[in-house]
Structure formats: structure tokens, C-alpha cells
Structure 1
């Protein structure tokens, strides 16, 4: 029997769960395609940057992981940002040299870049080694890293059609944003057990991304006494422990720094989601047909969260509130309105679901395998 040629796929990204979890979803889809084709001789490698990203990768997957140094360009001007930019200016060439060695040893058939400056060293080095590259842009407005890396890429997968004007037309593939299959398989019963919820009450899920969101935390804590009739599941972020100190004993309030596998159960039982407007959380909300209140991060790169949220707002797929003008009483009013008017919530969830593309991960996986051949 002829021995199978080993297929090696390099994944790269870093910084937050917004980069890691789509990579994981795509790796899972590639494995499914390999199983369909009876391909058993393959290897994956994830190259990223930062301790938190490394920890996330190790705790949530069995992907082999290698670190390189990377930096980022901060476009706001403060003394701190100037110093950080200077430090990162020297980190990037070191990271590229590290990537030269690590990519050479692995020598992949294809490279998938999820964006962010943490993906810059591995994507650039892959281009130098003439390895085919696909990058993925989740947002309506691409970040600076992907705008640069698209010049070196074979293909550019986009999550929103609005983003196509930023890339070369012949490279674009519209795929939408991948969602991990396990997020669609949560259990209400498991949620009640894990979070110790009252099954007679409606449940509000509050998310601020993998790092949390201090502004959303502050708003929620202020109105918490007026939400005693509901279950609250609150992901407050690893850096924000100080905000919820002393709040954990409040009845029906469940605060965790980060939701891991249990987030699928939290999604399953939630009647309303309050969140930032990152592309990945929006893809999950759409896939799960959930009504949501979106509070875009006002300092997001190129204002991409606001643009993401506007896609949902224009399709009546979410309530969008601007952080700058948001008062606790306004948020409380919107929460109670959506939980009381169930027909309105149902319609918002259905409109969100119309924006979902549940085969996004498979489409990207197919394109990766296509260029790897």
C-alpha cells in the first residue's frame, strides 16, 4: 500500500480568544475532511504570541504550540503607548527571526493566518518560503495587520461582504465567520446544574469578550439590584476581579472571569445576551438564534465593532447601544423590554439567524486543503 504524504498545516494568530477559537473551529473542520478522505498522516502547528494566548491554546486544545515575539502599532498617543510602540518595534524583527526557524522545521503545505500582529511573523516567513497562505478577516473593517498581510496571501477569506473593498478582488472568498460545533450543543439542564440557576427565571448572559469589558461590568453592577427577577451569568474578564469583589453572594448572580466549555450551556439557557460586537461573538449569537443587546467597544481598531453592530442593527437582528451615551436606566429599560416582549425577542433572534453561515468553518477548511495541494 502506498504511504500517504504527510500534510502539514500551520495556523497563526494571537492575543485573544477572538483569534484562537476560530482557529480551533477550522482545525476541527479540517480533521473532519481528513476523516472523510481517510487521511491519517497530518500535523498541525499553531504559532502565536503572548502568555495568555499560549495558556488558552493549551487549556482548550491539543494543538502543538510554538511562541514567537510580536508587537503591535498603537495609533493613540500617550507616553505609555509611545514607549510600548518603541519596545514592540524591536520585538517584531526578533519574532520574524524566530519564525524563520520554526516554520523551516515544520515546513507546512499551507499557512492560515487569523489576523492581528501576532500572525505577522509566521505569515511573512511563509510567504518568503513560498508556502500558500490564507488569511481570514472576521470584521466589516479589517485591522492594519490583515491589510498588510493580504499583500502576501494567496487568498483572503472574509466574514462580512462589507470588507471586500479593502482587498484585491481576485483573492477574496466570502466564507462568513466560523463557529465551533460544540457551542451549538449546549444543555439547559447542564446550565441549571453548573451555574445553580433558578429554572423558573429567565436568564441574561453578559459577555465582554475573552478579556472582559469594564464599562459593561460597571453598568451591570449598577443595575443588578433591579435584576433580581432574572438569572445572571456574567463573564467579567480575568483583569477585572476588583469590579465584582463582594458581588458573588448576590442571589441568582453568577460571575466568572472566563467561560470555558461551560459557555455552550450558558448560551443554551440564555434568553438574552449582552455583549460587545466582536465578529466572533456575533457569529455565535447568529448561529444560536439569540436576541442580543450590543455595546460596541468605542476604541476598537478602525471602529470595526460599531460597523459590525450596524450590520445587525440594519437587519433588525440586535439592539445596539452606543457606550458613550449609555446610562444604566437605558440599559435596564432595554433588558426588561426584550425579556417581557417575547415576540420581539423571537423576531430579533430569527433575524440574527438569517445572518448566520453555519458552514463557514468547513468552507475555510476546504480552501486551506485546496491550496495545500
Structure 2
């Protein structure tokens, strides 16, 4: 057989083997891409080996000569396998980097959307007290109404705006990568007692009873000011969503007997939050029928804690994460007015 015929035999055999290997690789890649990438160079070497060996046999080389050719070709298998492993590692690296870049883009887009929503919500909430202050001031300028009636209302609206700005600054500091905590040993029960005392006027004005229970007198290192603010926000949120005659309960203890985690829980009688909204109640600016409503009024304590701009619970989550802990909410099913929500601030002890 001449060399042309031998070459044609080699090409035909290599093409058949290569096609079969390619089909097998495509089928394998649907389930295990990395393994398919590793074996891809072996398919190339295998098809070339089969083609050359078939050509050698077709040209009537001796058995020893054909075997020598085959062994020489098979000697390239380790090299092909090494190339496949390098290729697989590179594919994995590129895939991981692409996934990380995609996740980062999605995260940045989500942050930007939330930032715009927050700016829109806060701007809307600031317009309300600003409009009220302007209307009351113009009324006084025109000599309409009594000074002793309008001035307290102007001051109340001013307190609302100041509280909104204060919440924005607090949230900004908590989200800053350079945020630092002023940790010190604190009796968590005393912290809860102070928060209850601060929220008592708001509870009294709404006809809500405050009750608390300390199962474990935990002393741990934390930023008392930040955690106290978070607990006060939880209390105000609970009081504003509990009807007159209801009860808001505060519990302090460890997580299931685990002394490494302290839990500050606030339970209300708001009637519960729709399950679809549970994951969103800690988002900045978000409001829902079962989680966020405007202020109840300007009674005692109103505006002292929380701004009504939907930032109170976001600050709670920020404080928890800054301490390496978590904030979460669950529905309680007690039936009737007893049903409500349980907000938990979990901090490492």
C-alpha cells in the first residue's frame, strides 16, 4: 500500500475515534464539566494514536515496528493528562472568578436599588413634617391660631425630622467599613431595664403593658450604647404595632442554654407578619402591613426613638452584624389578640 492510501486510512480511523470521543465528552460535560475537560486531551491523543497505528498496520509494518509506534504514541498520554488537569484547573478558576464577578455586580445593583429606594422614602417622610412646620409657621405669621398650640406642634415635627437624620447617620456609621465598637463588660439585664424605662412613656400613651423576664443574668462585652439603641428600636416597633390593652414582653437569656450566645427578645401582639414579608422587615426604608406603619402620634415618647422612616429595624440588624450576631423575626401563633411577632437580637457572649 502506498503512502497516500496509508494516510487516508490514518485520517479515517482518527476521525472515527475522535468523533466517538467527542460525542462521549459532550455527554459527560452535561454532568461533570471538569472531568470532561480533563479527558479532552486524551481523546485527541487517542484519535491520533489510533490513526497512526491503523496506518502502520495498513502499510504492512512488522508487528514489532507497529508496537514500537504504538508505545511511542502512548507515551504521550501522561503529557495529555497533565495538560487536561491544567486546563481543568484553569476552567475552574475562570468559572469561579466569573461567578464572583456576577455575584458582585448583582450585589452592587441590589445595593444601588435599595439606596435609591431609601433616598426616595426618606425624602417623602421628611416632606411631611417640613410641610407641617411651614403651614404652622405661616399660620403664626398670619396671626391665625394660638402660639401655645402651634409652637409645641412645630417642636414635635422638628423632633421627628431630627430623629430621621439621627437614624440615617447611625445606619451610615454601622454600614461603614471603618466602624468601631466601644466594647465594655455590660449586664444585659440592666441594659434591657434601661431600654424599657425609655420606652415606658410611649407604652403608657398607647395603653400597652410592658413586661420582662430575665432567665440568665448574662454579663458580656458589647457596645452598650449601640445595643441599647437597637433594643429600644425593637420596643418602639413592638409598642406601635400592639393594640391598646396589649402586652409587649422582653426576654433576656442565653440561646437554648448555650452560654456563648445571649438573646434579647421582644414579643408583641401585632397579629403577625405575612410570611412573604418576614425576610424584608429589616430592609432599610421598607414598610409592610404587618411590620411598618407610620407613627401612632405625638404622644409622650413619640419621636424619641425611631424616626418612622423605616430605619429602626435596619439599625437593629446593623448593630447585630457589627457585633458578629444576627437579628431575626418569627411569627407567634397564640390565637386572637395573642398572636404577634418575636424579634430576636442574638449576640455572641
* Larger relative contact order, structure 1 or 2 (CA cutoff 8 Å, min sep 6): 1
TM normalised by structure 1 equals 0.22
TM normalised by structure 2 equals 0.23
